[in-house]
Amino acid sequence: MAGFDLSAAVPTPEEHFFLEEREIVYLERIHELSKRHPVNLLVAGKQGCGKSTLVRQFAARNSRPMATFQIGILSEPGQLFGEHRLKEGETYYQKFLFPQAIQTPGCVIHLEEINRPEHPKALNMLFSVLAEDRRVWTDELGLLQVAEGVVFVATLNEGDEFIGTEMLDAALRDRFYVTLLGYLPAEIEARVLELKTGIDSADALTVVNVANQLRGNAQEPITVSTRHTLMIAELISVGASVKEAFINSLSVSKDVLESILLSLHIQLGQTGKGNGLRYRSY
Ligand SMILES: Nc1ncnc2c1ncn2[C@@H]1O[C@H](COP(=O)(O)OP(=O)(O)O)[C@@H](O)[C@H]1O
Ligand SMILES: [Mg+2]
């Protein structure tokens, strides 16, 4: 990553990102605190609920550079910092973006999927930069000190399937401020779909209502993320019916879907005769 100017990597804000008022105030306080010393923030929530977007938005709104690192794929401690490579029979050390990021004042450092590194020891060197003295020693690069104003934001997927088995190490969690992000209330999520995909407000609300029924289904709840309701709304924006869009986006049975649509008094919009199956050459 030599020559890459990280200080210029300020993300552009996303136009239609909604957050609870008190979360916005909280993020402003984190920004404020980081003027005294580097800060660690942990954002937990279900997949597709807006964690990554929140991190990007925090950087954008405060004109901070940002760099993202996948922690979930790390298998050894030094891997974030660089690696030894071979060129024309000679080995050399290739420094990665991470050392540069921690030395960039005000940088927002997004640590993705911090709950599931491939190897437990992979977090050891990261631990040093998150700890109070904010410095880490590497044989290749010497002593690295975290720059002023740096904010580390770790995100972790806290779906039902992870609880109990993939909990974050207590000592690591102890070093973070936390926030738990949930899905948006129905009318706000519908508004997001409308604004981002251009579908009308009635369809948007139907998509969200159906999604919420699936999320709350007592027998077998299905995770329908905001990412996914957006995908469904996009299909509708190019002509799909609500029913088609759900069937083509989720592995949900038609029976379950139809009973939900019926319970919401939604016209199924079935056209044609018989079983409605029509074929033509493609
Ligand atoms: N609160 C929200 N307001 C607007 N869009 C949202 C919100 N939450 C999620 N989205 C949209 O859903 C998609 C997935 O969000 P993302 O941040 O990648 O989720 P996560 O990192 O939690 O898996 C993005 O396109 C994002 O813009
Ligand atoms: Mg994400």
pLDDT in tens, 93-102: 999 999 999 9
Binning pLDDT at 50, 70 and 90, where does residue 165 land?
very low
Which of 157, 181, 205 marks a domain boundary? 181
Whether 55 and 192 map to the same domain: the answer is: no
Is any atom of ligand 1 closer than 6 Å to the C-beta of 68? no
Binning pLDDT at 50, 70 and 90, where does residue 167 land?
low
Is any atom of ligand 1 closer than 6 Å to the C-beta of 128? no
pLDDT at 1 over 50: no
Which of 138, 165, 181 marks a domain boundary? 181
Using CA atoms, how far apart are residues 169 and 97, in angstroms rounded to an integer? 25
Whether 116 and 34 map to the same domain: the answer is: yes
Query: What atom in ligand 1 is closest to the CA of residue 14?
Result: 27
Whether 111 and 228 map to the same domain: the answer is: no
Report yes or no on 269 lying in a domain. no
Using CA atoms, how far apart are residues 275 and 109, in angstroms rounded to an integer? 54
Report yes or no on 1 lying in a domain. no
Using CA atoms, how far apart are residues 172 and 70, in angstroms rounded to an integer? 17
pLDDT at 201 over 50: yes
Looking at the structure of the chain, the number of domains it has is 2
Element housing 67 (H / E): strand 66-70
Mean pLDDT, rounded, of the chain: 87
Whether 173 and 193 map to the same domain: the answer is: no
Whether 111 and 151 map to the same domain: the answer is: yes
Whether 240 and 151 map to the same domain: the answer is: no
Whether 123 and 64 map to the same domain: the answer is: yes
Report yes or no on 276 lying in a domain. no
Binning pLDDT at 50, 70 and 90, where does residue 190 land?
very high
Question: Ligand 1 center to residue 190 CA distance, Å?
Answer: 13
Using CA atoms, how far apart are residues 32 and 27, in angstroms rounded to an integer? 9
Nearest CA to ligand 1 atom 16: 50
CB 240 within 8 A of CB 216: no
Report yes or no on 274 lying in a domain. no
Using CA atoms, how far apart are residues 176 and 230, in angstroms rounded to an integer? 31
Report the CATH number that the domain containing residue 12 is assigned in CATH: 3.40.50.300
pLDDT at 258 over 90: no
pLDDT at 22 over 90: yes
Query: What atom in ligand 1 is closest to the CA of residue 47?
Result: 23
Of the two residues 110 and 165, the one the predictor is more confident about is: 110
Whether 159 and 228 map to the same domain: the answer is: no
Report yes or no on 89 lying in a domain. yes
Whether 78 and 33 map to the same domain: the answer is: yes
Strands 108-112 and 82-87: unpaired
Question: Ligand 1 center to residue 110 CA distance, Å?
Answer: 15
CB 41 within 8 A of CB 175: no
Report yes or no on 109 lying in a domain. yes
Q: Strand, coil or helix: what is 157? A: strand
pLDDT in tens, 34-93: 999 999 999 999 889 999 999 999 999 999 999 999 988 888 878 899 999 999 999 999
Burial class (CB in 10 A: 0-12, 13-18, 19+), 52: middle
Burial class (CB in 10 A: 0-12, 13-18, 19+), 216: exposed
Mean pLDDT of 164-170: 56
- C-alpha atoms less than 13 angstroms from C-alpha of 242 in its C-beta half-sphere: 25
Mean pLDDT of 160-171: 55
pLDDT at 164 over 90: no
Is any atom of ligand 1 closer than 6 Å to the C-beta of 195? no
Using CA atoms, how far apart are residues 156 and 260, in angstroms rounded to an integer? 31
Whether 145 and 196 map to the same domain: the answer is: no
Whether 165 and 225 map to the same domain: the answer is: no
Of the two residues 85 and 159, the one the predictor is more confident about is: 85
Is any atom of ligand 1 closer than 6 Å to the C-beta of 232? no
- C-alpha atoms less than 13 angstroms from C-alpha of 202 in its C-beta half-sphere: 5
Written as one letter, the residue type at 210 is V
Which of 181, 208, 229 marks a domain boundary? 181
Report yes or no on 32 lying in a domain. yes
Whether 173 and 191 map to the same domain: the answer is: no
Residue 125 backbone phi and psi in degrees, to 5: -75, -30
The two three-digit tokens of residue 165, written as one number: 């088995």
Binning pLDDT at 50, 70 and 90, where does residue 208 land?
very high
The two three-digit tokens of residue 223, written as one number: 């995770």
Where in the sequence is the domain holding 211, given as residue range(s)? 186-263
Question: Ligand 2 center to residue 113 CA distance, Å?
Answer: 8
